[in-house]
A and B are shown apart, each in its own frame.
Chain A
Amino acid sequence: MTAREPLLSLDGITRNFGAIEALRGITFEIGKGEVVALLGDNGAGKSTLVKIISGGLEPSGGRLVYEGREVRFGSPAEAKAAGIETVYQDLSLCTNVDVVANFFMGREIVKRFLGIPILQERAMEAATAKAIADAGTRIPSLRTNVEHLSGGQRQAIELNRFVHWGGKLVLLDEPFAALGVEQTRRGLEMIKRIAAQGISVVIITHIMAQAFQVADRMVVIRQGQVAGDVRTEDTTADEVVRMITGEAVKPPRAPIAEARTTGPA
């Protein structure tokens, strides 16, 4: 077992919405290939933090150090270019177009004829079909508009989408909220699989069992501050719940969890 290098360090991140201080100095690290569960009550600031990391919101203060360099993502496009994929709490699908168009949103396969980029529908459909089949998701037709699909199917499309595109860091904001038992189980396995490939994962969930199943470390946010940062093996569900509700004294910050033997060195 070797200590992991940090992929992303958050240093005193703050964010105000007018008079509301949504984040009041968030500091923690995410190691390479580490799965961090981000926990906290509604309104604690978890989604805001995710949006800051993914380039959708600018922090009011603090620093982000990504792969050893201080970064500032001005847009989701920049964060994506740096290898950060996000599944947002409110789904990011365009319901007016079909599954394939959503899967390749912003990254369409094109071929140039006379310099004009032409969409390659067949290639995109084949790639989408493969990704969806690999994940065991069932969707009747990839050419139906997403508005005709169920909430679970929509969430599955988003999850499969980020797995397909890979990257270095994946942010999942309550990704399983609309999924059934079996789909959730597959989703959790998928997280372990991508972490084993050396991709870091931040997952927000309200379900303690899910967090304990996949996370190497738990970071608890309470009222815009870190109320706990513990290794999964050093804590219990009861203790984490007390941190979330503010009954526990803040324990010292845990180092990045050591890599599991399955992970890359």
Chain B
Amino acid sequence: MVSPRRRAAIEFVLDNLVWFILVAVVAIFSFAVPNYFQIGIFANIIEQATFVGTLAIGLSLLIIAGYMDLSIESVMALSAMVIGILFAASGVGLGITLTPEWLVVPVSLAVALAVGAVVGATNAFFVVRLKMNAFIVTLAAYIWGRGLVVALSGGRSAQEMPAALRVFAIERFLNVPLIAWVSIVATLAFAFVLRKTPFGRHLLLIGGNPVAAYRAGIRVDRLTVITFILAGAIAGLAGWLLAIRTSGATANLGVGMLFQTFAAVVIGGVSLKGGVGSLTGVYAGVLLLSSIQTAINLMGMPAHFTQLIQGAMVLAAVLLDTMKLQIRKKLA
């Protein structure tokens, strides 16, 4: 039997474990890696976190509600390719221009979100209506989504996004480019939704015990559909940001980000069992991955090292998840 105060302390550490790890890792790198401790490097870490950070929002919401979405990476690429084809000036880009020129910002954003929402809705249809396994359904979407990207582009790339969009990648606020701020604001907004609104509360309840939530009058199916659509739309937002950053889109855009996102989400304290997690923790997980990657780059290690380390991190994250569960069980 543990005293309530001690339990509260342990719970606090477990809940915020990833922030402690992040601070420790950054401190170690700052001592050990030459040139690591600079404002510019930290800004770079945050900038790098943009895409995985955005993808992680939708994935976290779905995992917390007890589901799974493997399609996000392909959805991101699909959204990026669609707006690349519509608005980029060269390559497969059609170079559509709008007057006034800034109109391309809301229009391209709306298109990117809509593409994501449509894929999310098809996922939801198979999972909720046809009662198919979310893992399989979204794995299929991961495959056909990427296939659609290649088919649409013919394997070629779109280049030169309009200047009105490029501004978001170039202009900086506090040393951090605007696209990274978009991701941060989205994270904070959904962190608020998850913690403070009935919608967020109901996601936790569904992830904890869907039968109890249903019996309590919560419309479980409806909420699940909304969450799949949200996760798709947020992946669409990540695609919009990525197309701006790369000023276009390639057929293999963002390959590998699914696993980074997964790692970040689990490292961030979201339990794969559902019903547990916070988006601020997930963002810390994203920053942790990003700071490790930055250290690897600075030390001049070859790129495949990053993959090795990321693979190890995924394993470590799942191990950590299991360990936290066991500690919590002992506490009870």
Q: Name A's B-contacting residues (CB within 8 A).
A: 54, 56, 75-77, 80-81, 86, 88, 91-97, 101, 105-108, 110, 116-119, 140-141, 147-148
Query: Residues of B contacting A108 with CB < 8 Å?
Result: 198, 201
Whole-angstrom CA separation of A50 from B198 in the bound complex: 28
Q: Within the complex, which residue of A92, A96, A117 is in contact with B216, where a contact is CB–CB below 8 Å?
A: A92
Q: A-B contact count, CB below 8 Å?
A: 80
Report yes or no: B212 in contact with A94, Cβ–Cβ below 8 A.
yes
Say if the beta carbon of B217 comes within 8 Å of chain A. Answer: yes
Which residues of the other chain, A, contact B208 by a CB distance below 8 angstroms?
Answer: 94-97
Task: Provide the residues of chain A in CB contact with B213, threshold 8 Å.
Answer: 94, 105-106
Q: Does B219 contact A (CB under 8 A)?
A: yes
User: What sequence of 0s and 1s flags, for each residue 191-214 of chain B, a beta carbon within 8 Å of any chain A beta carbon?
Assistant: 000001110011011011101111
Interface residues of B (CB under 8 A from A): 4, 196-198, 201-202, 204-205, 207-209, 211-219, 275-276, 328, 331-332
Q: Please determine whether B331 and A117 come into contact, CB atoms closer than 8 angstroms.
A: no
Query: Is A105 within 8 A of B218, CB to CB?
Result: yes
CB-defined contacts of A94 to chain B, threshold 8 Å: 204-205, 208-209, 212-213, 275
CB distance from B141 to the nearest CB of A (A): 28
Taking CB as reference atom, which chain A residue is nearest B273?
A: A96
Q: Is the CB of A117 within 8 A of B198?
A: yes
User: How many Å lie between the Cα of A90 and that of B219 in the bound state?
Assistant: 20
Residues of A within 8 A of B209 (CB): 92-96
Besides A94-B204, A105-B205, 10 more A-B contacts (Cβ < 8 Å) are A54-B215, A75-B219, A76-B214, A92-B215, A93-B212, A94-B205, A101-B201, A105-B218, A110-B197, A147-B332
Secondary structure class of chain B's binding surface, majority of residues: helix
Q: Given A96-B208, A140-B4, is A119 in contact with B215 using a C-beta cutoff of 8 Å? A: no
Shortest CB-to-CB span from A79 to chain B, Å, is: 9
Q: Determine whether the beta carbon of A76 is less than 8 Å from that of B217.
A: yes
Whether A77 pairs with B4 at a CB distance below 8 angstroms is: no
B217 touches A107 (CB 8 A): yes
CA distance A153 to B317 in the complex (A): 34
Within the assembled complex, what's the spacing in Å between the Cα atoms of A97 and B145? 36
In angstroms, Cα B220 to Cα A94, docked, is 14
**Are B215 and A88 interface neighbours, CB within 8 A?**
yes
Q: Is the CB of A96 within 8 A of B204?
A: yes
Looking at the assembled complex, report how far the CB atom of A181 sits from the nearest CB atom of chain B, in whole angstroms: 24
Q: How far does the Cβ of A86 sit from chain B's closest Cβ, in whole Å?
A: 7
- The answer for the CA separation of A58 and B151 in the assembled complex, in Å, is 47
Top 10 A-B pairs, shortest CB-CB distance = A96-B208, A94-B208, A106-B216, A77-B217, A96-B275, A92-B212, A105-B216, A106-B217, A94-B209, A106-B218
